[in-house]
Amino acid sequence: MRSCQESIDKIFELVNTMFEVSNEGYADREEPGFDLIYSVVRDSAYKIKKLVEAQQSPIYNNNRCLCCKMKKIEKGADLLGREQENF
């Protein structure tokens, strides 16, 4: 598995944990002031999930994640640099 996919999987695990914490927090809250904290955690989880899903979407990235695209760009720049050295 590519390292970028491993990172994305870890992010999804984090997002799921954030959802669990916010849901448990709402269910067990004893003070009304914590509603805001749990709302922020839940909203942040949704935003992170949306960003990662957009990153993985073939519409946005031509079936490549951003880090793989960057590696391809870096490799191309490296090859271009080597070609220039040969002239």
3-class DSSP assignment, residue 29: coil
Q: For residues 15 and 45, is the Cβ–Cβ distance under 8 A?
A: yes
Stronger pLDDT, 26 or 82, i.e. the higher one: 26
* pLDDT per position as a tens digit, 3-60: 777 888 899 999 999 999 999 988 887 777 888 889 999 999 999 999 888 877 655 5
pLDDT at 68: 62
Contacts of 14 (CB under 8 A, 6+ apart): 48
Would you put residue 65 in left (φ > 0), alpha (ψ -120 to 50) or beta?
beta
62, two tokens: 């031509």
Which pLDDT value is given to residue 8?
A: 84
Asked if 11 and 31 count as a contact pair (C-beta separation under 8 A), the reply is no
